[in-house]
Each structure stands twice: as C-alpha cells, then as structure tokens.
Structure 1
Amino acid sequence: MAHEVNGEWRGWRAAAQEALYGAGGFYRRPEGPAGHFRTSVHASPLFAAAVARLLCRVDEALGRPAELAFVDMAAGRGELAAGVLGALPPDVGARVRVYAVEIADRPEGLDPRIEWLDAPPERMTGLLFANEWLDNVPAEVAEAGADGVPRLVLVQEDGTERLGDPVAGAEAEWLARWWPLPAEGFRAEIGLPRDTAWAAAVATVDRGLAVAVDYAHRADARPPFGTLTGFRAGRETAPVPDGSCDITAHVALDACALPGARLLTQRAALRALGLTGARPQLTLASTDPAAYVRALAHAGAAAELIAPGGLGDFGWLLQPVGIAGASLGGLLVDVPDHEEQ
C-alpha cells in the first residue's frame, strides 16, 4: 500500500477512493453517473430486457425458487434494477426480490419494490449483476522506473504525479503474474482490489450466477501504458482526484475470474440472450409501416449494444455458483468469444 508523503502525495488507490466515494466525492453528486457518461443501461432499454431474460434463465436453472434475488451492484440511480423489474414476466416478477446497491441516497420516485442498500445482502439465491462497477474500484498504478523496477505512482490532488517506492508484497506478486512491466515507462493498474471485491461479491451468492460487465483486457493484450482516465459531462478528461470527475481504469477480468468462470464479449453474450441487431425485412415497410419503423429502431439500438469497437467489446465475466453452465441455455458453454465481424 502507498502512504502519504509530507501530507501531499498519495497512491492512486487512496486518492481515487476519496475523490469518488468521500463525503464530497464524485459518486455522491446529485446528478448521478448518467450526468457524466453513458453505459449500456442508458443506451437502450434492450439491455435491461436482456438481463431480465438472463435472470429468467437463472430462475429455471435454480428450479424456480419461491424467492429469486436480483442484485444490481453500483446501481447508479436504479435504472437497471427498474428496467429488469419492468421486463420480467409476471410469474417471475411475483417471486423476485430486487436489491439496488449504491452508496448514494435512494432517488425519489424509484419503484418501491426495489430495496436500496449500501452493500449487497449477505446471502442470496439468484443473479448478482455488476455493470461497470469494477472499473471504479480504485487500484494502485505502477510504472517501471529507469532501473526497470515497478514503482508505485503517487499523485497530488491536482493530478501531478511522481514515482514512489518499489511495488512490494501481494501487489508485486499480482503484477508479476497478471501484468508484468517489460521496460521503463510501461504502466499497469494493479488489479488486486478488484479481484478481492469481486470474490467478496460472489461469496454472497449461495446459488445462482454472478456477472461482471466492464471495460476489460486480458493477459495476451494488456495496454502498455495502462488505462487510467477521467470522465466529466460526457467527455474523457485527465484523471484528477479532486472529486470533479469520474476516475476509472479498465479491468483485468481474467485475474478476477474464479474457478468455473467464463469470459466473453458483450457482443457474444447479448447475441446469446436474443439481441442480433438484424434489420427488419423491407416488405414490412409496405405492409405495416409503423411496425417497420419500430423494428428498425429496435435493430439500431441492439446494434449499438453489440457494436465492435464500442459497447460490444465490453467484457462479461460469468461466475456460476451451484448451478451447471449447461442449464443457462448454452450461455456458458458454446458461445464463441471471438466472432467474425
């Protein structure tokens, strides 16, 4: 862990933690995340509908329990939780218990059936879904110095950086295993806090499925200079840990994965859940113009969610707990990770 030096310099993990989640932090602002960046949840209600279908598959795999949980980690203002609840068929909706997990206060007007928590329930049976949560779990940043030794990157509140002590202990072990730095100037985000946070979330699932969806990379394609960045009012900006912007970094999802997990792209996952982006037949335009326009809008929204180079490249980490992968309609066993574009 990095420590304060002369009361001014801190490691990125401590600086980002305060900037994002402190008393005046970014995630406590009244406008919520949607005021600054757009996730798949905000792009189209088709995303929540696909998650609802996934919840129905989990329900079937669990044998339709009397109570089925849906836990929305990093719920923002409850958009996904509300969307999933509204998209469920009546027989599932009657048994579901929805939890929105978020540090901010409960928004006004949210469906009263949604329980608002600052941590996930200790035990649950169902689906835990973490959309763009892990990228906001703060992590230390390391950079290889002139001697090739990975060192912690220290930062001031205005974003000024310098190199600190060599990375040591469990963080050094994580770097060596998951993201070795080959030469001076190469950078990495040390994903150990993300691994720990994900393992703790999965541990709350007695039976069911845990899913993490995020900007991601794998060991065979780590970005050489890291991914730490900021977002403010819809624009990417320099990461400054003063509470004025989001501070985020892509996630090494392969390091987070526990035994039995499956990694795939959002494109592959959503296609397996019924989203294709296929345009309607032109003949529909002449027989039912209104239906054609609706189908065309649906196809456009679906295409954005699965687009290569965009949301479709997000990583999905699926972690079954006490259920067979085959019971989820093949989602865990026969969907290709890499598809022809």
Structure 2
Amino acid sequence: MSHLPEPSVEALAVSRTLCRRIAQTIGDAGGWIPFPHYMEMALYSPGCGYYAAGSHKLGSAGDFTTAPEMTPLFGRTLARQVAQLLPETAGTIYEFGAGSGILAADMLEALDAAGSLPERYAIIDLSADLIERQKATLARRVPHLADRIQWLDALPDRLDGIVIGNEVLDAMPCELIRHEGTWRRRGATVKDGALAFEDRPIDDAGLAERAARLVPPLPGYTTEISLANLAFIRTLADRLERGALLFVDYGFPESEYYHPQRHMGTLIGHYRHHTVDDPFFLPGLMDLTCHVDFTAIALAGTEAGLDLIGYTTQAHFLVNAGITEELQALDPNDPARYLPHSVAVQRLVSPAEMGELFKVIGFGRKIGFDWIGFASGDRCHML
C-alpha cells in the first residue's frame, strides 16, 4: 500500500510489538483465533492497541474525524434533546467512548447556558490515552464543572439517566462470516510469518443461529454479525431503571445491511484519513470498524424490555432537535467564524455526506415518548 503515509519509526515499533503479541496469542490458541478476538487485540491491547496507545486518532492530524470534532453545534444540538429528557431522570448523563472529550465539553457548556446541567456527567471509556485527553479538554473548557464530571472503569449496576454513544457501536469487535456452500467463521492465523485470514466451521451457537437467518445471494458472500453490539444493548437494558439510550452511528437496517450488492461486508480500516480494506494492515496504528445493523440493535433493545422511541437519519434528528437554530445564533457577519460551522453543518445533514449514512436510534424506560429529535422523519417501520 505504497500510496498510504509512512508511519514513524516509533509507531512502526508499536505495531510490530502488537503483531508479535497477536501471533503469540494465535500460537497459544492452536494456530487460529476468531476475528473478534483479533479485532479486540488490534484496538484495545494494553500499551499497543489502537485505542490503548498514544497515537493521535481524531481530527485532521489523526485517522478520522467525528461530528463533534467538526463543529460544537453537533454537541449543542444533542444537548437540546438531553435537556428535554434529563428532568425525567435522576439527572445523570453517561457517555460511552467519549473520544477527545469535545462532545462532553460542548454539551456541558450548552446545558450550563440553558440552566439544565446534569447532576453528574459520567464517562465510561476503555482508552487510558483518550481519558487523559478528555480530562485535559474538560479542565480547559469547563473547569467550574469539575465536581460534576467523573470517569468510571466499569458500568454501574443501575442506570438512571441519559446514556449517549456517538460512534461507539461501530468500534465493537464483530464476527466475520463467509459463505462457501455453508456459512464459515473467519478468523486470524499466521501464514508465512504474516497475519492472514483462515475460515473454520462456526462453533458458536449464537453466531450459528443468526447466520442461519441470512440467505447468501452468491458464493463468497462475506458479512459481519456483531454479537458484542447485542450483548452491550442487553446489558444496558438490564441496568437501566429509568431513562434513555441514544446512539449515533453509521449503518443500515437489516434489509440494506445484507443486500446482495454489499457482498464484501462493511468492515473497514481508517488510517490517516484513508480507508484500508486489509484488517491486518499495521495493527495498532489503524482503526477498525464495521457498520451497525440497526434492525438487530432495535430487536435487542425491545426484546430486553425497552421502548423503541425512534430511529431516523442523522439529518432528520439534528434538524428536528434544532441545529439550524444553533447555526442561526452565530453571527453571519463574522465569516471567519460562521462559514466553517455552516460548512460543517452541511456535511452533517447532507444526504451525500453524513446526513443519510449516519442514523440515530433512541430507547427509553419510564420516560416520555415525544422526543424532539424524532418529531419527523421517523423510520422505525423500515427496521
């Protein structure tokens, strides 16, 4: 992949350390590990996994850019939805995978200005590196709210508040399956000294059951099933006593996710703002994600007793919740400040950019159904 930027000597050393660790794990397991095990190590292995090492991941200097990094108007708009729901709960916001902390800072500033501050803002994140960045961001942006912010290393036994996850579901390790006469489970092995795919019979009952529901359109059809996503939603549902779950991510309903034209699946790597098809390229230096099957997410939540409040595109949700009002509140006579946010909002809501691919799904328990973000354009009927 000569067209991709060369890593630094230090970064390459980190990746090689991780490759040796993965190869050792494969050897200890008898020569093969399921793909989710590989993906978990590539992303979260202590000291050298993508989210556990010190590389700059977010923004123009990193590997990808998220909505909060583009404009604070995204966070301010989410804050409008949160402000509507927070009084119906014990007043805690739980954010999973808080990135650089920018979304938390933007939301807290907006909620502070609106007189709707949470009693507590709890961040649950697996990356020690990102946690340090979050602490620095929040200390700089909202130092007067330090007593309301905390970091948790485990999910609380009970949740009473608003759970938020922006681009969290896509980063959870996924199963890869491939159909060659029958469904087979993809995994990682070592061939000629390099990491490589090897397919084996499916030996996991849950995965086999979900794979059996799919009708492969042609030989070689490859796709993903995220058992981790489903387990995560069920766990949240088990612990949510009252409140809301709100997730923003890229993905499709099942009918589109497993469409014949998507025969190579959705797994993709992100490296220095380039997309990479090979998941074994520079482990530890490249993000790995797969799109979200929102039908599976909706079923996991409702089967666990949650109310499905809404499902819509990011564009509909943001416009419903007031992103245009947030943009209009800026001074258009100050083009140096106004224009970048105007361009960012266009990217967030344009069907050709993030507006259609990104979706928003909301669940509730013992909370009102009339969320402003789902006031129009709801697509639950398409799930």
Q: Secondary structure at the match of 1:88?
A: helix
State the Cα deviation string for residues 176-202 of structure 1 (Å, max 9, x = none). 33x442331101111222111122123
Cα 1:170–1:151, aligned 2, differ >3 Å: closer, same or farther? same
CA contact under 8 A between 1:128 and 1:205: conserved in structure 2?
A: no
- Aligned-partner Cα distance in 2 for 1:37–1:159: 24
**Is it true that 1:144 corresponds to 2:179 in the alignment?**
yes
Which residue of 1 is the match for residue 50 of structure 2?
A: 26
Cα 1:130–1:277, aligned 2, differ >3 Å: closer, same or farther? same
**Is it true that 1:57 corresponds to 2:119 in the alignment?**
no
CA deviation after TM superposition for structure 1 residue 295, in Å: 4.6
Q: Secondary structure at the match of 1:16?
A: helix
CA deviation after TM superposition for structure 1 residue 168, in Å: 4.8
**Is it true that 1:269 corresponds to 2:310 in the alignment?**
no
Q: TM-score, normalised by structure 1?
A: 0.84
Select which of 166, 172, 188 maps to 2:223. Answer: 188
Which residue identity lines up with residue 185 of structure 2 in the other structure? L
**Is it true that 1:82 corresponds to 2:105 in the alignment?**
yes
CA contact under 8 A between 1:12 and 1:154: conserved in structure 2?
A: yes
CA RMSD of aligned residues (A): 2.8
Q: Secondary structure at the match of 2:292?
A: coil
**Identity score, percent:** 27
Greater fraction of residues in helix:
2
CA contact under 8 A between 1:68 and 1:96: conserved in structure 2?
A: yes
- Aligned-partner Cα distance in 1 for 2:246–2:239: 13
1:151-300 to structure 2, matched below 5 A, reads: 151-156=184-189, 158-166=194-202, 168-177=204-213, 179-222=214-257, 223-237=262-276, 238-240=278-280, 242-257=283-298, 258-259=301-302, 260-261=307-308, 262-276=310-324, 290-291=333-334, 294-300=337-343
Q: Decide which moves more: 259-268 or 296-305.
A: 296-305
- Aligned-partner Cα distance in 2 for 1:323–1:180: 38
Aligned residue pairs, count: 321
Q: Secondary structure at the match of 2:263?
A: coil
State the Cα deviation string for residues 146-183 of structure 1 (Å, max 9, x = none). xx201011223644212211465211211233x44233
CA deviation after TM superposition for structure 1 residue 46, in Å: 0.9
Cα 1:95–1:162, aligned 2, differ >3 Å: closer, same or farther? closer
Which residue of 1 is the match for residue 366 of structure 2?
A: 322
Which residue of 2 is the match for residue 335 of structure 1?
A: 377
CA deviation after TM superposition for structure 1 residue 301, in Å: 2.1
Which residue of 1 is the match for residue 14 of structure 2?
A: none
Cα 1:294–1:220, aligned 2, differ >3 Å: closer, same or farther? same
- Aligned-partner Cα distance in 1 for 2:344–2:34: 40
Select which of 347, 353, 357 maps to 1:310. Answer: 353
Which residue identity lines up with residue 377 of structure 2 in the other structure? V
Which residue identity lines up with residue 226 of structure 1 in the other structure? G
- Aligned-partner Cα distance in 1 for 2:365–2:352: 31
Q: Secondary structure at the match of 2:103?
A: helix
Structure 1 unaligned blocks of 5 or more = none
State the Cα deviation string for residues 12-51 of structure 1 (Å, max 9, x = none). 1110111111112110122453132111111111111111
- Aligned-partner Cα distance in 2 for 1:332–1:143: 36
State the Cα deviation string for residues 129-154 of structure 1 (Å, max 9, x = none). 11111111102100001xx2010112
CA contact under 8 A between 2:316 and 2:374: conserved in structure 1?
A: no
Structure 2 unaligned blocks of 5 or more = 1-24, 140-145
Cα 1:87–1:120, aligned 2, differ >3 Å: closer, same or farther? farther
Q: TM-score, normalised by structure 2?
A: 0.76
